[in-house]
Each structure stands twice: as C-alpha cells, then as structure tokens.
Amino acid sequence: MIIGVDIDEVLAELLEAYLRYYNQKYNTKTQKEEMFSYSFREVLGGTEEENQQNLLDFFKSEYFQNIKPVKGALKSINLLAQKHRLCIITARPHIIQKETEQWLLKHFPDDFHSINLTNQWHGKGEKQLKSEVGKKQNIQIMIDDSLQHALDCAAQGIYVLLADFSYPWNQTSEKLPENIKRVRSWEEIVAEINSYGKKHGRG
Ligand SMILES: [Mg+2]
C-alpha cells in the first residue's frame, strides 16, 4: 500500500521542543498537556508577528535540531517500510525543507519514498492541502495528528489514522467520519494498517 505519514507529533516531538524553547525565552512553564490547540498562538498568546518570529528563531535553534522521535515511531516505521511505500506529507514550510530532510535521514534513513512539504505553517509561498498531495501520491492511508488535516483527507476518500497519543489539540465532541480512526499508539497504527490491508486484499 501507499501510506502518507505526517511528521510533527507523529514522528517528531516538535511541540515538546518548541515549548522548551518558548518556556526558556519567556520564563514560563507551559506543558504539552495544556495545548488545547495546535495553533500555538491560541494557547500561548502574543501577536501574530511575535509568533511568526518565534517560529523562525526556533527553526534556527538547537531545540529544533535536536527534536526527538515519537515513542515507538522508529521501530514501527522500519517495519512498515519493508512492506509499504511510505510518503511524508507534512504542513511544514518550505524554508525548513533541508533541515527536515536531514532530520528524517538521521532517524529514518531510507524509510521514505518521498518527502512533501505543503507549506501551510509559515508565511510566504504556495500552500497545498494534504489531500491534494495525498491524491497525487495515490495514498490509501494517511497518518496524522491534526483533526483539520484528517478531515481534509477523509473527505477525499483517504482512510485516516488520527494519532492521538493523549493529544489535547485533536479532541472533539463531534462524531468523526467513518474513515477516520483514532489510534493511541504506534503499535495500534501498525495493527490497523495490517487489518486494513487484509480487508482490502493488500496484505
Ligand atoms: Mg502533525
């Protein structure tokens, strides 16, 4: 199968690193558990300009270079890459394309068939929806922690595994579409992909 994989909070602990950068700068103690939104400004406050500048500074910092992989991701991606074609589809901006490729190469060498940045995070340049890229890459499944991207892909007929590793920002009281499945760990993601493959004759 062809499977789309998000980076941040699915493979990479970006938020944890960003909060370390942010808390150090502002002498605050905001925890990941308090992030009810993945729009950092909604939770942390400040002006749009400040937030954009903070992101740029963060991208240049050691905090960003040293982002840790998400628990269970290394082993599971390695396993999945042996059977399936894995494509990175991230909302990250084009300005960090090189750093993104380097981080993936360091932690997931040769696991990904393509790396696609949809540029939805920061300022300038052309943006794409994840569903557009997903359609182009012919993915059957998308793994993402964002409710917004999950709904976008699901509306285009892509089966979505919504990574919810106790993530406050992707909770909702609304009923999710049938083709979005909330998953709690990387082990569950692998199991879901196996059973999806069997159901659709693509074991
Ligand atoms: Mg993400």
Side chain identity, residue 81? A
Q: Same domain, yes or no, for 21 and 109?
A: no
Q: Using the mean position of ligand 1's atoms as its centre, give its distance from the Cα of residue 188 in Å.
A: 17
- Provide the domain count of the chain: 2
Q: Using the mean position of ligand 1's atoms as its centre, give its distance from the Cα of residue 6 in Å.
A: 6
Instruction: Note the pTM of the prediction, 2 decimals.
Output: 0.97
Q: Same domain, yes or no, for 102 and 49?
A: no
Rounded Cα–Cα distance for residues 116 and 28 (Å): 34
* Mean pLDDT of the chain, nearest integer: 96
Quick one: CA dihedral 137, 98, 47, 24, positive or negative?
positive
pLDDT digit string, tens, across residues 173-189: 999 999 999 999 999 99
Q: Same domain, yes or no, for 82 and 166?
A: yes
* Domain CATH for 82: 3.40.50.1000
Q: Using the mean position of ligand 1's atoms as its centre, give its distance from the Cα of residue 8 in Å.
A: 4
Q: Same domain, yes or no, for 114 and 136?
A: yes
Ranges of H-type helices in 27-72 = 40-44, 48-59, 62-65
Mean pLDDT, residues 11-32 taken together:
98
Q: Same domain, yes or no, for 72 and 171?
A: yes
Ranges of H-type helices in the chain = 14-26, 40-44, 48-59, 62-65, 73-83, 97-107, 130-136, 147-155, 186-199
Domain hosting 50: range is: 14-65
What phi, psi does 143 have (nearest 5°)? Answer: -110, 115
pLDDT digit string, tens, across residues 85-136: 999 999 999 999 999 999 999 999 999 999 999 999 876 789 999 999 999 9
Q: Using the mean position of ligand 1's atoms as its centre, give its distance from the Cα of residue 46 in Å.
A: 22
Query: For residue 202, is pLDDT > 70?
Result: no
